[in-house]
């Protein structure tokens, strides 16, 4: 699923403008430009930010490839310990769903956490997606 960089949680107006200078306007372009640590270091220097900021944005861009994971659900997954497609693909849907519900009860991120069937779908999608980020 294609998501604008400006819609990724953690992006700033300055970062979006700097990435646009490099021709990076959506999550797919960001993933291609930030796939490896050396690329993220170069982007961080260009954006005048920390490499960790670029990695976090790349992780959000990675999760945005999963249909149905965006905005608050992306936050919820991250707080539940899942911040990449690779990690999502290894999770047991029932355990992850329980963790998401527990996390949402503590954090109050959404009125309605995703149903188990939605989490099962996310994990299935993640298993089918290529792993694009290296660490």
pLDDT digits over 116-134, tens only?
A: 999 999 999 999 999 999 9
pLDDT digits over 64-98, tens only?
A: 999 999 778 988 999 999 999 999 999 999 999 99
pTM of the complete model: 0.88
Q: What SS3 string covers 57-120? A: HHHHHHHCCCCCCCHHHHHHHHHCCCCCHHHHHCCCHHHHHHHHHHHHHHHCCCCCCCCHHHHH
Q: Which of 59, 75, 80 is nearest to 126 (CA)?
A: 59
CB 61 within 8 A of CB 3: yes
């Amino acid at each position: 699923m294609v998501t604008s960089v400006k819609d990724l949680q953690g992006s700033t107006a300055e970062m979006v403008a700097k990435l646009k200078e490099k021709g990076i306007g959506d999550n797919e372009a960001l993933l291609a430009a930030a796939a490896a640590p050396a690329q993220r270091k170069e982007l961080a220097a260009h954006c005048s930010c920390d490499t960790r900021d670029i990695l976090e944005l790349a992780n959000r861009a990675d999760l945005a490839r999963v249909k149905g994971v965006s905005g608050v659900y992306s936050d919820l997954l991250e707080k539940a310990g899942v911040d990449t497609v690779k990690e999502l693909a290894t999770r047991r849907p029932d355990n992850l769903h329980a963790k998401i519900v527990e996390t949402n009860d503590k954090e109050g991120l959404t009125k309605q956490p995703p149903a188990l069937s939605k989490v099962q779908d996310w994990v299935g999608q993640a298993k089918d997606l290529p792993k694009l980020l290296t660490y």
